[in-house]
Amino acid sequence: MRSADIPLSLYVHWPWCVRKCPYCDFNSHALTSSYDPSHQYIDALIHDLKHSIAYAQNRELISIFIGGGTPSLIAPQELERFLETIFSLLKVASDVEITLEANPGTVDTAHFKAYRSIGINRLSMGIQSFNDELLKRLGRIHNSEDAHKAIKIAQESFENFNLDVMFALPGQTLEELKFELNEAIAAQSTHLSFYQLTLEPNTVFAKHIPDKIPDPDVIYQMQDLVTSSLETAGFEHYEVSGYAKPGKRCRHNLNYWQFGDYLACGAGAHSKVTLKDGTIVREARFMQPESYIKHAIKDSAVAHERVVAKEEQAFEFMLNVLRLREGAPLDLLSERTALSLDDIQPGIAKAQSLGLMPQPLNRFVTTDKGWDFLSDVQEIFL
């Protein structure tokens, strides 16, 4: 394993939203006043980023992803200041993918054009649904009209944009999902992320389970409908929830699933980096925004750091690469971890005996049965 050959990305976390959604388990917090934290927070991000320079080992960033929260709340001039700092401190690939997440309820033409002009070249919008009633149940701040307006603005400003859409929503029927799919396809985005609603711990939905969640059989039908509809429309189902037009797969997410390295900055942000000696290190920043800012300004934004032990690497590797429908080449294991194929052969043999991985194994990939029971395959390597 040569750490210098492992691709490198950067994740940036913006922790604020207009309102916290009841299904959301991300590190996000509702803005409680008209105060704009952009300047102070960007200062903290810059301090945090400087901490990570050594981890880059002179590698180029292939992607930058600004997630949240609702990063489309960031003042464009402050985001420009941060991007300029990134380019001054780190090597950046000439064709770097720079993604910004956006909420349709915070979108206007001027902001989108400003983001595009400062270097953002990929947009990811959290549409979630085109059905006003379902949007209300999800606690979203936008309605279907806002969604269509935001999509039109995105089409005018960005050649490459993603829409996030959810299914298996409270009370949702297959017919309603067909409507969602038709609307998503008509938006002419280059990428669609279709996520099944899950009741995550420590969310409002987990404490107060909504009525009429579709049963497992209906959810299975919904997943089949999503896949067949989007593939018919020319999208490649390349990852569990990811569907892309040819050549438009999300480079940032692909680096995660291929067990690449990524720096991170921002409240609660997690990084994974490989040192020159092959040691894999994971870091987590302070989660509460105020605490994060206070520590980052003092160059101590990292709350937790741990080394990924060799015996943990098989599960972490498989947890990621098996999310890819086409899997990953066998030699990627030794290129990205301290393991050899022999180290994980018992797990492979078990998965093959259950019909979850193919025989012979030419790539790290599941069978169709294994794809349907992906978490079971991944847990074999735990």
Q: What is the pLDDT of residues 350-376, one digit of tens each?
A: 999 999 999 999 999 999 999 999 999
In a domain, 298, yes or no: no
Residue that the structure tokens 């983001």 belong to: 115
Assess whether 203 and 334 both reside in one domain. no
**278, two tokens:** 């092959």
Assess whether 67 and 134 both reside in one domain. yes
Angstrom CA distances, 336 to 204, 257, 342, stand at 38, 12, 15
Assess whether 343 and 207 both reside in one domain. no
Domain edge (last residue) among 220, 241, 256: 256
Assess whether 318 and 217 both reside in one domain. no
Angstrom CA distances, 188 to 76, 121, 123, 134, 235, stand at 26, 16, 13, 22, 11
Assess whether 248 and 327 both reside in one domain. no
pLDDT at 200: 83
pLDDT at 270: 97
In a domain, 68, yes or no: yes
Assess whether 216 and 335 both reside in one domain. no
Assess whether 234 and 350 both reside in one domain. no
Whether pLDDT at 13 is above 90: yes
Assess whether 124 and 240 both reside in one domain. yes
Residue type, 174: L
Q: Which of 31-40, 74-83, 313-322 has the lowest mean pLDDT?
A: 31-40
Handedness of CA 6, 80, 124, 44 (dihedral sign): positive
pLDDT band at 31 (very low <50, low <70, confident <90, very high): confident
pLDDT, average across residues 220-237: 97
Domain edge (last residue) among 215, 237, 256: 256
In a domain, 363, yes or no: yes
Assess whether 83 and 185 both reside in one domain. yes
Whether pLDDT at 346 is above 90: yes
Q: Give the pLDDT confidence of 155-182 residue by residue, as tens digits.
A: 999 999 999 999 999 999 999 999 999 9
Q: Which residues lie below 8 Å from residue 187, measured CB to CB, with a gap of 6+?
A: 151, 155, 163
Assess whether 112 and 210 both reside in one domain. yes
pLDDT band at 62 (very low <50, low <70, confident <90, very high): very high
Whether pLDDT at 34 is above 80: no
Residue that the structure tokens 């020319």 belong to: 234
For residues 62 and 97, the answer to whether their CB atoms sit within 8 Å is yes
Q: Which of 33-37, 98-102, 304-308 has the lowest mean pLDDT?
A: 33-37
In a domain, 129, yes or no: yes
pLDDT, average across residues 46-62: 95
Assess whether 85 and 233 both reside in one domain. yes
Q: Which residues lie below 8 Å from residue 30, measured CB to CB, with a gap of 6+?
A: 16, 17, 18, 19, 20
pLDDT, average across residues 326-337: 97
In a domain, 228, yes or no: yes
Angstrom CA distances, 370 to 106, 148, 195, 354, 363, stand at 40, 37, 19, 9, 14
In a domain, 305, yes or no: no
Whole-number average pLDDT of the chain: 94
Closest by CA position to 15, among listed 6, 5, 24, 4: 24
Q: What is the tally of structural domains in the chain?
A: 2
pLDDT band at 36 (very low <50, low <70, confident <90, very high): confident
What is d(CA 191, CA 242) in angstroms, rounded to the nearest whole number?
Answer: 7
Where residue 177 sits, what CATH number does that domain have? Answer: 3.20.20.70
Residues spanned by the domain of 187 = 3-256
pLDDT band at 138 (very low <50, low <70, confident <90, very high): confident
Q: Which residues lie below 8 Å from residue 256, measured CB to CB, with a gap of 6+?
A: 9, 262, 320
Percent of the chain's residues with pLDDT above 70 = 100
Q: What count of residues does the chain have?
A: 382
pLDDT band at 26 (very low <50, low <70, confident <90, very high): confident
pLDDT, average across residues 8-36: 86
In a domain, 117, yes or no: yes
- For residue 196, report the phi and psi dihedrals to the nearest 5 degrees: -75, 135
- Going by the DSSP 8-state scheme, the letter that residue 359 receives in this structure is S
pLDDT at 87: 98
pLDDT, average across residues 200-226: 89
pLDDT at 204: 80
- For residue 206, report the phi and psi dihedrals to the nearest 5 degrees: -70, -35
Whether pLDDT at 282 is above 80: yes
**373, two tokens:** 């029971």
pLDDT at 199: 79
Percent of the chain's residues with pLDDT above 90 = 84
Domain edge (last residue) among 232, 256, 280: 256
pLDDT band at 203 (very low <50, low <70, confident <90, very high): confident
